[in-house]
Chains A and B, each alone.
Chain A
Amino acid sequence: MDEIQMTPPLDEAEIRRLRVGDWVSLTGTIFGVRDATLIRIFDKGQRPPVDLRGGVLLHTAPNVRRAGDRYEAVSVGTTTSARMERFTAGLLREHGVRAIIGKGGLLAGSVRAMQEYGGVYLSIVGGAAAWETTHLEEIEAVHWEDLMPECLWQFRFRDLGPLLVSIDSHGESTYARITETARERLSGLIEKGAGGEGAPDRGAPSGGR
């Protein structure tokens, strides 16, 4: 399969060329963030100690081993993105982030923000940390170490991919499409009933004695 090779920092034109269904591979600096990191930036109002413009973020909190004054990776994987939904617009608008790598997808607010500011969501296989770690070259720096393991991680990856473009900058989301299909099929399954069994008589809510 052909992967589009990309090297951060990324500009808007590169991002706008990507479409849902494309496969991407990334080489270069990728910043690891998650709940506590983003809460610090947005809810506690602290400026990140690094410039995130054109940057690629990874929703993560790795397992690491201390080696002198540095950290070595034990296992770097990806966490569920939906928890960080409310931070997407701010990351794109105020910090110039161009791509977020995550698993499980983001919701409608993020799809709109990506369309408006020029961003993409790249799906990686959640739980595939052994695979992901083999693409990691180095932990370049660790900012906000007091948030361990939810620090602001600065990783260098080589050929991290294939990553699937699942939310693009044109308002398309694979997750939204799959969810819509699943809801339609769910209605069909409920109507059909198990083994031809019809719908039950309507019952009063539980709560008696």
Chain B
Amino acid sequence: MREERVTPGDAGGSGATGFYSAVEETAKALYIGALKDVPADVRAALARAYERERSSVARQLLGIILRNIELADERDTLVCQDTGTPIYYIGMGTGLRVDGARVADALRRGTERATREYPLRSSVCHPVTRENPQTNTGYRIPAIHWEFVPDVDWLEILCIPKGSGSESMSFLKMLPPADGVAGIRRFVLESVVEAGANPCPPCIVGIGVGGSADLCVALAKRASIRPIGTRNPDPHLAALEDDLFAGINTLGIGPQGLGGDTTALAVHIEHAYTHITHNPVAVNMQCWRGLRATARIHADGRAEFGASGSVRHG
């Protein structure tokens, strides 16, 4: 472990205030950026799906999806209209001495500024009165998840403006241990069929296995935002990822639920140890946009966009 911790401003730069305004600027840029840019791994998976797809309707729809991504690039505009629920995953380098409350404040301000200055649709409202503050923020929103990264002196921000079509299709079941792997498998397949056309397939299917109820759902979301091509390091779960990916893609739901070979772009599982009495499983999906944007902010306030890896998935 490092002995010293860097306080923003120590290394010159623009001082502590500069660091927090860099967090604010970065949060704003990531929120807008995640809505405009489709990650490279997701683009590649969509292109592969288009090549392999046998249904002519599905090919037509995948063609529109690919054209849409090109248009968003060319016109520097939003991929989808849904500005989502803003969620930030923060990887705090333990070598950096920062005030977490000020970081949270900066994330909120960045979200509000993105909304006002771009301008973005405000998709956030009070759960009972339905009042929309027109800021994409509110009580406990943006949602912020904190993690600590040993031995580094930067802060990483992963921004997920989660679209509602896919988020609405979220599932949790506390299975009994006797249901075993077959029970997990069955619940995931049933959930994908239940979700059907609604989550904007082809999706990245995120699965949480184990933990407590809250942890299991959080793991499913972590799994859904993992880059395509990554695998669960545990061979038991990696095998289940492969099995479910193959199985889901035989269901015939297809792009937009209108039939075809491509229902999932990927299946990811994140797991945790669990209580001896249960076998929890959760499903949380990303739509075909697979949206995510990351940046790393150094103590001097310098931001590097696109850097990722420190925010642990699992």
Does B151 count as interface, using CB distance less than 8 angstroms?
Answer: no
Asked whether, in the complex, the Cβ of B121 is within 8 Å of the Cβ of A194, the reply is no
Does A52 count as interface, using CB distance less than 8 angstroms?
Answer: no
Chain B residue with the shortest CB-CB distance to A62: B81
The smallest beta-carbon distance between A182 and chain B, in angstroms, is 4
Asked whether, in the complex, the Cβ of B165 is within 8 Å of the Cβ of A80, the reply is yes
Contact partners of A205 in chain B: CB under 8 A: 176
The residue that A206 contacts in the complex, of B69, B259, B278, B287, with Cβ under 8 A, is B278
Contact partners of B123 in chain A: CB under 8 A: 61, 149
The number of chain A residues touching the other chain, given as a range, is: 35 or more
Chain B residue with the shortest CB-CB distance to A134: B71
Asked whether, in the complex, the Cβ of B252 is within 8 Å of the Cβ of A181, the reply is yes
How many A-B pairs have beta carbons closer than 8 Å: the answer is 200
Does A207 count as interface, using CB distance less than 8 angstroms?
Answer: yes
A75-B77, A202-B178 known; A125 vs B61 contact (CB < 8 Å): yes
Asked whether, in the complex, the Cβ of A79 is within 8 Å of the Cβ of B190, the reply is no
The residue that A131 contacts in the complex, of B57, B68, B130, B259, with Cβ under 8 A, is B68
In whole angstroms, how far apart are the Cα atoms of A200 and B259 in the complex? 31
In whole angstroms, how far apart are the Cα atoms of A83 and B168 in the complex? 10
Does B5 count as interface, using CB distance less than 8 angstroms?
Answer: no
Asked whether, in the complex, the Cβ of A200 is within 8 Å of the Cβ of B180, the reply is yes
Asked whether, in the complex, the Cβ of A182 is within 8 Å of the Cβ of B251, the reply is yes
Instruction: In the complex, identify which listed stretch (B86-94, B181-189, B219-227) lies at the interface while the others stay far away.
Output: B181-189
Does A148 count as interface, using CB distance less than 8 angstroms?
Answer: yes
The smallest beta-carbon distance between A163 and chain B, in angstroms, is 10
Chain A residue with the shortest CB-CB distance to B184: A194
Of the candidates A79, A80, A123, A177, the one having the most CB atoms from chain B within 10 angstroms of its own CB is A80
The residue that A129 contacts in the complex, of B79, B164, B179, with Cβ under 8 A, is B79
A63-B120, A206-B279 known; A127 vs B193 contact (CB < 8 Å): no
Asked whether, in the complex, the Cβ of B165 is within 8 Å of the Cβ of A126, the reply is yes
In whole angstroms, how far apart are the Cα atoms of A149 and B186 in the complex? 39
Asked whether, in the complex, the Cβ of B196 is within 8 Å of the Cβ of A174, the reply is no
In whole angstroms, how far apart are the Cα atoms of A1 and B181 in the complex? 45
Residues 274-303 of B contacting A (Cβ, < 8 Å): 277-279, 287-289
In whole angstroms, how far apart are the Cα atoms of A208 and B77 in the complex? 52
A104-B198, A175-B196 known; A126 vs B278 contact (CB < 8 Å): no
Contact partners of A204 in chain B: CB under 8 A: 176, 178
Does B126 count as interface, using CB distance less than 8 angstroms?
Answer: no
Does B197 count as interface, using CB distance less than 8 angstroms?
Answer: yes
Contact partners of A166 in chain B: CB under 8 A: 258
The smallest beta-carbon distance between B122 and chain A, in angstroms, is 7
In whole angstroms, how far apart are the Cα atoms of A59 and B120 in the complex? 18
In whole angstroms, how far apart are the Cα atoms of A175 and B193 in the complex? 12
In whole angstroms, how far apart are the Cα atoms of A209 and B253 in the complex? 39
In whole angstroms, how far apart are the Cα atoms of A105 and B199 in the complex? 11
A125-B65, A127-B68, A164-B258 known; A199 vs B81 contact (CB < 8 Å): no
Does A103 count as interface, using CB distance less than 8 angstroms?
Answer: yes
Q: Please encode chain A, from 82 to 106, with 1 for each CB lying within 8 Å of some chain B CB and 0 for all others.
A: 1100000000000000000001110
Residues of A within 8 A of B (CB): 1, 21, 36, 60-65, 74-80, 82-83, 103-105, 123, 125-131, 133-134, 148-149, 162, 164, 166, 174-175, 177-179, 181-183, 185-186, 189-190, 193-195, 197-209
What are some 8 contacts across the A-B interface (CB < 8 A)? A62-B81, A63-B78, A63-B83, A63-B121, A130-B79, A133-B77, A182-B253, A194-B185
* A-B residue pairs, 7 tightest by C-beta: A203-B178, A77-B81, A128-B68, A130-B72, A75-B78, A131-B68, A206-B176
